[in-house]
Amino acid sequence: MINNIQTLIKNSTIDIDLQEIAEKVVNNKQISDADALIMYKKAELGFLGILANYVREQKHGDKTYFNKNFHIEPTNICIYNCKFCSYVRKIGQEGAWEFSIDEILKTVESYKNTGVTEVHIVGGVHPKRDLHYYGEMMQKIKEIIPDIHIKAFTAVELEYMIKKAKLSLEDGLRILKEYGLDSIPGGGAEIFHPDIRKEICDEKASTNMWLTIHETAHKVGIPSNATILYGHIEKYEHRIHHMSKLRDLQDRTEGFNTYIPLKYRKENNTLSYIGEVSSIEDLRNFAVSRIYLDNFPHIKAYWPSIGKEIAQLSLSFGVDDIDGTIDDSTKIYSMAGAEDQNPKMTTQDLVKLIKDVKRIPIERDTLYNVIQKYN
């Protein structure tokens, strides 16, 4: 791999700016926002793949991570009206759901003794449910599967439920941790740039609030993930601005586990007219993300959003994690028109997907502790 990088640096046909960026990468120097913009606009996909794969292999070699997980989406009833969302419904509207705690626990019961290590819980911001409602739900989940890791609630959900309970962010997060919250997913970040956020999700938690919630979570010992929603009305500069906010926060807290670029899908929402970006753009975005976010240990391809084949290809463009089994337990992307309308893979499916591109499958827990290596 280092020979490929050295060839890039010496190649006289490559733009001098790109040669200098390659030199920074080889010398473990952080690239600038200007460098990232050059890569987005000038670099050929092959160039980006070589650089991003170099960074990936420096951090993880051929190891590629996945976990055994399932999702719970307690409700799609939401007080907000984000333009990109195909999921939201109002109380009484056709297609709305709000599962009771007992209904949720029946789902959890079905996963006893199956080897799952994580439950991922996100949904709409329901106007009548607060921190203590969801706290009771988490307590009862852990009564059924005591060792399960609960990764739950976007910053948008957390802001509302903590405010409704009349608590400070720090007190609310500490109480949720006592109830059983182990980590926070990265949803709700969307795009941080105020111009774009105002256009697509002006009502929901602000950029500063999202960042503050995650920083506070890290302070009280709750790790988290980070996401971006790309491929709609944003430009490359907006993606870089978004990543810069995350990189700065990670420098302060080291509390993020992984970064997950989430592709905008066009069906059944008010942004449908803009279409979707290509798979080439997906790979470009993964690669630049891996190179830019030098202080993030992992880059994840969420396969239900981009499909299994592109997730597989992404393993050569900086990605080292492809999420988990999921078991057809999420509707967020299927309702937005994703190719896989019933997202589900077995452990054997994931292992084969990874091995087919000559990588080493590693079953992990949520915090990337190794459970099993598949040679």
Q: Give residue limits of the domains in the chain.
A: 2-57, 62-373
Q: Where are the alpha helices (DSSP H) in the chain?
A: 2-10, 16-26, 33-42, 45-60, 101-109, 131-144, 155-164, 169-179, 194-201, 207-219, 236-253, 279-292, 303-306, 308-314, 347-355
**For residue 12, what pLDDT band results from cuts at 50, 70 and 90?**
low
pLDDT at 85 over 70: no
Residues 6+ apart with CB under 8 A from 282: 231, 261, 263, 306, 310, 314
Dump pLDDT digits (tens) for 310-340. 999 999 999 999 988 876 544 444 444 445 5
The DSSP output letter for 272 is G
Least confident of 117-121, 219-223, 335-339: 335-339
Dump pLDDT digits (tens) for 231-277. 999 999 999 999 999 999 999 999 999 999 999 987 666 778 888 89
What integer is the mean pLDDT of 60-80?
91
DSSP tally for the chain: helices H, then strands E = 15, 9
- Rg (the chain; Cα; Å): 20
What integer is the mean pLDDT of 14-43?
94
* Residue 258 near residue 299 (C-beta atoms within 8 A): yes
Q: How confident is the prediction for the chain on average, in pLDDT?
A: 90
What integer is the mean pLDDT of 342-354?
85
Residue 335 confidence (pLDDT): 47
- In the numeric block, the tokens 């709409």 are attached to 124
How far is the C-alpha of 81 from the C-alpha of 67, rounded, in Å? 32
Question: Which residue has better confidence, 109 or 128?
Answer: 109
- 110's tokens: 């079905």
pLDDT at 215 over 70: yes
pLDDT at 96 over 70: yes
Q: 3-class DSSP state for residue 184?
A: strand
CATH number assigned to the domain with residue range 62-373, chosen from the 4 options 2.40.30.20, 3.40.640.10, 3.30.70.940, 3.20.20.70: 3.20.20.70
Dump pLDDT digits (tens) for 181-205. 999 999 999 999 999 999 888 888 8
Amino acid residing at 97: W
How far is the C-alpha of 280 from the C-alpha of 294, rounded, in Å? 22
Least confident of 66-70, 277-281, 325-329: 325-329
pLDDT at 7 over 80: no
pLDDT at 125 over 50: yes
Residue 3 confidence (pLDDT): 66
Identify which of 168, 171, 207 has the alpha carbon closest to the alpha carbon of residue 188. 207
Residue 267 confidence (pLDDT): 67
How far is the C-alpha of 292 from the C-alpha of 228, rounded, in Å? 14
Dump pLDDT digits (tens) for 355-373. 999 999 999 999 999 999 9
What integer is the mean pLDDT of 298-318?
94
Least confident of 115-119, 125-129, 151-155: 125-129
How far is the C-alpha of 266 from the C-alpha of 84, rounded, in Å? 8
pLDDT at 62 over 70: yes
* Residue 56 near residue 298 (C-beta atoms within 8 A): no
HSE-up of residue 36 (Cα within 13 Å, Cβ side): 24
In the chain the first and final C-alpha atoms are separated, in Å, by 21
